[in-house]
Chain A
Amino acid sequence: DTEVTQTPKHLVMGMTNKKSLKCEQHMGHRAMYWYKQKAKKPPELMFVYSYEKLSINESVPSRFSPECPNSSLLNLHLHALQPEDSALYLCASSPLFDPNTEAFFGQGTRLTVV
C-alpha cells in the first residue's frame, strides 16, 4: 500500500463550524505533514509530525489544530475559519523527517469556507 488517503475530498463549512480533516497512511512512515495550497501556488508547509510528536509549526493560526493519534493517522481540526482559509489541504508522509527521502502526497481536501 503506497497510498496516503485523505477524507473528505471536498468540504464546505461556515465560519462558525467545527470540522476535521483526516489523513491515513499504512506505509510505516514516521513523518507526516500538513500543507496548504492555494491556486497556482506551491504547497505551503503548516505542520510536521515526527514519531507522533509535533516537530514544526509554521506559525499557523490557532484556528488550525493538528493531532497525531498514532503513527498512521493525522488529523487537522478546524474551527472559526475565515474565507481566506479556503484552499486545497494536502497531507503527506515520508519514511523519516529526513529530506533525502520522497514525500508521498494524498489527493487533498478541497476546503471552501463560506
Chain B
Amino acid sequence: GENVEQHPSTLSVQEGDSAVIKCTYSDSASNYFPWYKQELGKRPQLIIDIRSNVGEKKDQRIAVTLNKTAKHFSLHITETQPEDSAVYFCAASKRGDKIIFGKGTRLHILP
C-alpha cells in the first residue's frame, strides 16, 4: 500500500522567511496530493492541492511542487506570518482508495 513520509517533523523559521516541507510517496499510481493545515484545537483544513498532471501550483504565499519521477512533493510558504504557525499534513491518494497522510510537520514562526 501507499506510504507517505514527511520531513521535517518540526520546523522553526523567522517571521518573514520561507518555510519548506517535503514529502515522498511510494505508490506511483497516486495522483492527488493535498496539504492540510491544522491549528491547535481545530479541524484540518485544505490549504492547497495538486494533481499528477501538474508540476507546480501557487496560491498567494503558498506553492506546491510535484516531481512524479522522484515521487516527491513539497510545500513552500513565503513571507511567513505568525498565523502560519500550525501543524501541516501532506497526503497522497489515488482513485477508489483512501487518503494516506504524512506524520505532520509542526511549524513555528518566530517573532
A interface residue numbers (CB < 8 A to B): 40-43, 45, 48, 56, 90, 97-100, 102-108
| CA distance in complex: A69, B103 (Å) | 33
Can you list the 7 inter-chain pairs with the closest CB atoms, starting with the nearest? A99-B93, A42-B101, A105-B43, A100-B32, A99-B32, A102-B46, A105-B44
Apart from the given pairs A99-B31, A99-B97, 19 other A-B contacts in the complex at a CB distance below 8 Å: A40-B104, A41-B103, A42-B89, A42-B101, A42-B103, A43-B89, A56-B98, A90-B43, A97-B96, A99-B96, A100-B32, A100-B51, A102-B34, A103-B34, A103-B99, A104-B46, A105-B43, A105-B45, A107-B43
* Residues in chain A near residue B93, CB distance under 8 A: 99-100
- Name which residue of chain B comes closest to A45, CB basis: B98
Are A103 and B46 neighbours in the complex by a CB distance under 8 Å?
yes
Chain B contributes a number of interface residues (CB within 8 A of A) equal to: 24
B interface residue numbers (CB < 8 A to A): 31-32, 34, 42-46, 49, 51, 87, 89, 93-99, 101-104, 106
| CA distance in complex: A104, B49 (Å) | 13
B3 to chain A, nearest CB (A): 13
| CA distance in complex: A21, B101 (Å) | 24
| CA distance in complex: A61, B93 (Å) | 25
Could you say which of B44, B46, B87, B97 has the most chain A C-beta atoms within 10 Å of its C-beta? B44
